Amino acid sequence: MQRSTHNDEERRQWVDNDEGLYDLWRSERPRKSQRQWIRENRALIDDCIDRVVGGNQPAHYLKYGR
């Protein structure tokens, strides 16, 4: 799988629109701002984006599985 480069605005849009990523952010304890959570989880978010865009996983796979 080829890795691509994403910026924090694109990552924010994915967190807002992907139920699995959104749930991961909201379940973080102690609660962190979305900006801070994205900074700390860039690799995880990028991996999710690349898997979905690359066709290796369906959208929302973190929430609903394959």
Asked if residue 45 is part of any domain, the answer here is yes
What domain count does the chain have? 1
CA angle (47 as vertex; 49, 14 as ends), nearest 5: 35
Rg, C-alpha atoms of the chain:
11
Alpha-carbon distance of 57 to 48, in angstroms, equals 8
Domain range for residue 30? 8-64
Asked if residue 2 is part of any domain, the answer here is no
Asked if residue 3 is part of any domain, the answer here is no
pLDDT in tens, 5-39: 899 999 999 999 999 999 999 999 999 999 999 99
Task: Say what the pTM is.
Answer: 0.90
Question: pLDDT value at position 22?
Answer: 98
Question: pLDDT value at position 65?
Answer: 86
